[in-house]
Structure 1
């Protein structure tokens, strides 16, 4: 997706460089830090702009997609026959089945660490603690939630397996659970009841349950992607709603296929998920586009002038040429934030409402 830039720092610097040619003119005409230049009779009055006091924001707008966020896959780790799948569009919560293999449930649990090994008495690790937290949340007791898989844990697992109709082994095979951060929405089926499945085969895809806006940024724009940062979202119907950056992930995508049909170089992108303050505002928009504006920095109640009004001074730094009736004078200024074609300025004698010369 293409980022449409509203920040004009590069243009601003370019404008300043062009104005360096004016330095010799400024010095030759005798413009000092506070000198005056009386306009000659018959000359055309210079174009001017007004010094304004405003809030200046360094922001960028990117294309976003309305939906349910990142799509993830549930991949089989068991060989057998798919006998049932949770319905597309349905919500699956902790302890409930995403699908069944050989008529036995593969259930959803909450956590960020994928199931990668069989858990059994004597094992230790973060995956043990993650599983035990889920077991406790499902109402099973008699064990301590820690990173050790004990005999007491195995007893609770047998009770869990009995309730699921599984063989009561006291061991947890990685193919029997799928971990997600929270409840999920089934997006699509990649297999059908009756299909044979084997490890590595995609069974279904799922997303989060909340409507969100997903934005894909280039790596160069990673500075925009700050978790919990406030953003503005413009919906397809023109309404504007407030949003907050919920997640920021680096994703690797295959490049476009070449002429010989082989995949091109992979691309690295930054995927940003934005939650809006009023989720109901997103109702009715499926797979639609939205504009998301990221504000990197903001300066409130500052004096600003057009970037083109800046002059590079012979003695160093910048100034503006203030027009006062038939006379002009140069005031030295300190620059701040550049945004939207204007620049924050501060000077000892600079005040709101002054007219500054802008080259035509």
Structure 2
């Protein structure tokens, strides 16, 4: 069989995950924020080189000239360069745009005032309208970027601390002896974490709970009532980082007091839905920061609902335009970074997120430029055997990292093959 020009190799088969050949890689350009673009594959089109003409002529045994002696003296004895078929693991990756930050900010609002009489478990509980329940003025506020942990004040109202508690159930009623429910358990869990004792962490607000609350109130510098009202504390899923301060010192706590986020930086990605199979909870990914630093991340959450985002020509189109608009469905993906120190001082930045698309383990591979397009169709490898130069047909598999998976009769680990000039 004979070789021919390999320029007909399909572009898809000639693509590999060797991002070093791109001209738009972070190494080649100064990092900058880019508009969201379609999923960018790291598979690169690589030209498959043609076997040197002299080698092809030697394989067919046809030479120009007047004598066999002249042919024998000029015929090449083998390819100009050789390599070996090697077993390796090939991994194809997909690189997408992500955004590093602290996630979406949520608002902390002043608690509604609690006044009058409230019904609890069949008993009447009387409470007066106090500064603790949302009345009064703001006398202290945190600064943007401050971190607030369990038990620390989110703000002060009439110089009384309003601390942060961890949980998912907000304070929505007055809690006192006899109350029961998820909010009671949330309060007791926090009291226990803060070091208070004398009660059992459960759904029941007992006299032991009330005594622990009094101790807590004393440490906060507040009146020791043994009861907890909605405005006495704020509840969030965990420690918070202040994103923006909305309230004003000396004013009433109306509306949003501040906005806050989680305390650890995360990466968010709007992933095209056709690539949903690349991500799952726990999937590892590689991040590339604007300065080139590589960081490992883990997929923590994959949204279940696709968001349709449509775009059209700015200004509603122009004369002669087709008027077509692009619509892309995406999934929100959140990735966490365990080693926050590697992120340096970046609080917000565009990042490249590389996801593993496919892996083929322990397969036979050769450099892509060892492939030869055969005249009868398909691709092969140039080998030098006892009968001179021969071409072994191969079936192509995955392209990745500048190599290609090959298989077929006669293809084995360690086989010496030619690499055309």
TM-superposed CA distance for 1:147, in Å, is 2.7
Secondary structure of 1:143's counterpart equals coil
1:231 and 2:292 are equivalent in the alignment = no
Residue aligning to 2:172:
117
TM-superposed CA distance for 1:286, in Å, is 3.7
Tell me if the contact between 1:6 and 1:340 (Cα under 8 Å) persists in the aligned partners: no
2-structure distance, mates of 1:4, 1:268: 11
2-structure distance, mates of 1:269, 1:102: 45
Residue aligning to 2:88:
54
Residue aligning to 1:321:
380
1:248 and 2:301 are equivalent in the alignment = yes
Residue aligning to 1:24:
none
Alignment CA distance shift 1:204-1:348 (3 Å): farther
1:1-360 alignment to 2 at 5 Å? 1-2=36-37, 4-6=39-41, 39=60, 41=62, 53-78=87-112, 79-80=134-135, 81-111=137-167, 113-115=168-170, 117-118=172-173, 120=175, 121-198=177-254, 201-210=255-264, 212-218=265-271, 220=273, 221-240=275-294, 242-245=295-298, 247-248=300-301, 250=303, 269-275=331-337, 277=339, 279-304=340-365, 321-324=380-383, 327-331=390-394, 333=395, 335=397, 339=400, 344-347=405-408, 349-351=410-412
TM-superposed CA distance for 1:103, in Å, is 3.7
2-structure distance, mates of 1:249, 1:174: 34
TM-superposed CA distance for 1:98, in Å, is 0.7
The CA RMSD over aligned residues, in Å, is: 4.6
1-structure distance, mates of 2:172, 2:272: 34
TM value normalised by structure 2: 0.59
Unaligned runs of 5+ in 2: 1-35, 46-58, 65-81, 113-133, 315-326
TM value normalised by structure 1: 0.67
CA distances 1:28-50 after superposition (whole Å, capped 9, x unpaired): xxxxxxxxxx748479xxxxx97
CA distances 1:99-120 after superposition (whole Å, capped 9, x unpaired): 1334433211223x14153263
Alignment CA distance shift 1:202-1:355 (3 Å): farther
Secondary structure of 1:191's counterpart equals coil
1-structure distance, mates of 2:308, 2:180: 37
Tell me if the contact between 1:251 and 1:271 (Cα under 8 Å) persists in the aligned partners: no
Tell me if the contact between 1:66 and 1:282 (Cα under 8 Å) persists in the aligned partners: no
TM-superposed CA distance for 1:56, in Å, is 1.4
Unaligned runs of 5+ in 1: 12-37, 44-48, 260-264, 312-318
Secondary structure of 1:197's counterpart equals coil
Residue aligning to 1:16:
none
